[in-house]
Chains A and B, each alone.
Chain A
Amino acid sequence: MTDTNTYLIRGARVLGGEETDLLLRGGRIAEIGPGLDGGGAATVDARGAVALPGLVDLHTHLREPGREDAETVYSGTRAAAMGGFTAVHAMANTFPVADTAGVVEQVWRLGRDSGYCDVQPVGAVTHGLGGTTLAELGAMAESIAAVRVFSDDGHCVSDALLMRRALEYVKAFGGVVAQHAQEPRLTENAQMNEGVVSDRLGLAGWPAVAEEAIIARDCLLAEHVGSRLHICHVSTKGSVQIIREAKRRGCDVTAEVTPHHLVLTDDLAESYDPIFKVNPPLRTADDVEALRAGLADGTIDIVATDHAPHPIEAKETEWSNAAMGMTGLETALSVVQSAMVETGLLDWAQVAERMSAAPARIGRLSGHGRPLAVGEPANVVLFDPSVSREVDPAAMASKSANSPFRGRTLPGRVAATFLRGTPTVLDGKVQ
């Protein structure tokens, strides 16, 4: 008889170490060690695969409510599971905006009902992402969704006074403001990174300084009021330098980088194919190198996907009419393997820190980002780094196909994901 509540994982390399066995029982890690006897447990042959704690994404667009044509909580969490995630933070720019306790509770419940991964709603900082008045942050924090991350992502909280107030206010409940750093006047109608390529292509530029100026300002504000601050999708070399310097001074700032900004560059816009249109835009090879170095030395704390699904018609159009954003959940770990592990910049333990432990800490998420140790929640991803695959968006669990890695060969494959001991992915297939 097979015990469906118990799984014996054979021969996994925990954080890339020696092969060992893990026994998952009752939603927890019951035993770790070589040659375990699973009794009647279902056995998962994981020889060669790396075992990591379930990944945590601090920046996901699930699009529900409002844009269910692009993604739903159900499809998005299946995509998350396929990418090895056991928790995602759902961004607030839905329709209606997640700026009330009611909406964040709705998203939270949809996530719980899906069962593929935990959904932790992010609350909007301002009403309707309008940037003028604070949303009821306390009500969202006290709701059943227990919101701790607040962001107007997609829009910058550009008003310095409002940003100061938000940073101060969320201290009362251990919240953090995640800033989409984009000075709005410097980026009016901006289409791509401002530089040699944008000038040649005649596309309005999104200058690096528009990101860096806001990050510098917000680090100073956070220091002044003694708040913590999180910076979304850092994309430039200058931003890395500013954050490194702020941390050195003792500023309580954390930062994320997306997988796509770790490998893709602005020259891809030469095709005018908006599959490469994203905000912040793809930057230069120099920026990519600085972002990798920043992620390696801890200046950038985490990788976050900024998974941004869009329907086909939003991308099969002229560049300036196209939507900004890329899907990312199902390619994130492979991209990190390619950009960071195979280059020797990170080992798997450091990947676990940056894609599981640290994002869970920043999001104040209990039960995720825990070490793979006996007694801990059985949130586990088994990742086989030895295989490679050609990215086929049509075969993905996400409802949308706007992956910039379409047609590229990426290393690694998520073989299995366990959420509190229950497999959401087995044999590379969503359950």
Chain B
Amino acid sequence: MRHLLSAGDLSRDEATLVLDTAKELAQVGDRSVKKLPTLRGRTVVNLFYEDSTRTRISFEAAAKRMSADVINFSAKGSSVSKGESLKDTALTLQAMGADGVVIRHSSSGAAKRLSTWVDGAVLNAGDGTHEHPTQALLDAFTMRERMGRVEGLRVAIVGDILHSRVARSNVLLLATLGAEVTLVAPPTLLPVSVRSWPCSVSYTLDEVLPKSDVVMMLRVQAERMKDAFFPTAREYTRRYGLDDDRFAKLHDDAIVMHPGPMIRGMEISAAVADSPRSTIVEQVANGVSVRMAVLYLLLGGSESAIGN
């Protein structure tokens, strides 16, 4: 129980423990002095091979609130840009005594590979098109805060499922926590074996919206057009964008989520993004709490309490 590589590695009890711990730690953010001594003397390295300001500063804030020493290592302008391999970088961090490594990498499986080369805990902050487990945890935390529960919630995840690490982690974690997930996308943006996943699938957003408690919109990169995943951005928005008319089809208590960064006008309208039922800003705040919880549970004690 040393790393957090996949949301699928978490049992229901472990996932619940993370969410409960995050809830307690969230109170730190409300204090005037936003700091706990828990990880004093521990070193956390943020190893970011992809640009991701949002996730990096979230992890950095989480580690600093726990009093950990934080080293930010970004691939640009570093030894990596000079051709250093991931393994050599890993051995360097190891030699510097990193207790935990938070890795963001464009290659699926990079976090798992890293975990075979370092002794410290490895936290997957997004690996290629594979997983992003802390995003799924913060999404579940946000649902629980807003809706009071996760079990039994009807969650629609809409957009580029095929290339989404957020979708993969959410499907696994939400299934573990007992939510009913429906993936909504054009068939070209769904994995070929998606029917084997623990969720339902629909090609038609309009049919799913009235039956949803949570609608999670994923970013759709316009450049997917070049690979013929859909004809035009306009047509994508016509069929899968959460515009004002579609928003009106949701029941009154339903919430709208987005992992960011969002493309207003493409997958979500400005009015929907800014509505009180949008949780987009809360998700950012919750991200810090959940990452504090994960760091605490992996690095805080002599034996970590979650992950594998």
Q: Tell me the A residues contacting B by CB distance below 8 Å.
A: 191, 194-196, 198-205, 207, 271-273, 313, 316-321
Contact = CB atoms under 8 A, between A and B. Distances in A.
A205 B192 contact: yes
Interface stretch (B50-58, B104-112, B152-160, B253-261): B104-112
29 contacts: A194-B192, A195-B192, A196-B193, A196-B196, A198-B191, A199-B194, A199-B197, A201-B130, A202-B108, A202-B109, A202-B127, A202-B130, A202-B131, A202-B168, A203-B128, A203-B129, A204-B129, A272-B112, A273-B113, A316-B85, A317-B113, A318-B105, A318-B107, A318-B109, A318-B113, A319-B108, A320-B106, A320-B107, A320-B128
A195 B113 contact: no
Interface in B170-225: 191-194, 196-197
Contacts of B194: 199
B87 interface: yes
B109 A200 contact: no
B3 interface: no
Interface string B74-89: 0000000000011100
A203 B110 CA distance: 11
Given A205-B192, A318-B110, 7 more contacts: A194-B192, A202-B108, A203-B109, A273-B113, A316-B85, A318-B109, A321-B107
A196 B197 CA distance: 9
A204 B109 CA distance: 12
Nearest to B128: A202
A191 B168 CA distance: 18
A316 B109 contact: no
Contacts of B196: 196, 199
B65 interface: no
B165 interface: yes
A202 B192 contact: no
Contact of A272 (B106, B113, B129): B113
A317 B112 CA distance: 11
A316 B87 CA distance: 7
Contacts of B128: 202-203, 320
A226 to B, nearest CB: 37
Contacts of A196: 193, 196
Contacts of B112: 271-272
Nearest to B227: A188
Nearest to B85: A317
Contacts of B113: 272-273, 317-319
Which 7 pairs across A and B sit closest by C-beta, in order of nearness? A272-B109, A202-B130, A199-B191, A318-B107, A202-B129, A202-B108, A196-B193
A201 B85 contact: no
A271 B191 CA distance: 20
Nearest to B116: A273
Contact of B109 (A194, A201, A207, A313): A201
A200 B168 contact: yes
Given A272-B113, A318-B105, A319-B109, A202 B193 contact: no
A191 B107 CA distance: 11
